[in-house]
Amino acid sequence: MLQEKHLPKAFWAEAVYTAVYLLNRCPTKAVQNMTPIEAWSGKKPSAKHLRVSAVSAMYIFQQRKRHKLEEKTEKGIFLGYSTQSKGYRIYNLKTKKLIISRDVEFDEDAMWNWDEEK
């Protein structure tokens, strides 16, 4: 995943985290063609929220952190899924921090070019 998406090596943990999240939602023979999540919880997981990882994403940041006339969105890179809430893990390019947001717009056709960022 790191090589395919040209992610910096600093994001190896995020890549593993996302890979495990996806593997837990894929059917396997080990649990009779169910997903591990389905075998554990008894509920079939939804795939509606799944997105291509390491793509450009625009997210709405919290209102209390911005003024009325400021931009409502920030640009980031989608790195994975939150297990604490129904949100996505986005790397903010300006602050260099990982945030969790539900309000995200993805550009799955455009892969982020990390070489241009340097």
Q: What is the pLDDT along the chain (118 residues), one digit of tens a residue?
A: 667 777 788 888 888 888 898 888 888 888 888 889 899 998 988 888 888 887 888 888 776 666 777 778 888 988 999 988 889 999 988 889 999 999 888 888 776 666 665 4
CB–CB of 91/98 below 8 Å? yes
CB atoms within 10 A of CB 77: 22
CB–CB of 96/70 below 8 Å? no
Residue with tokens 């990882």: 53
Tell how far CA 100 is from the center of its chain: 9
The span from the CA of 69 to the CA of 92, in Å, is 21
Domains parsed from the chain with CATH numbers: 9-117 (2.30.30)
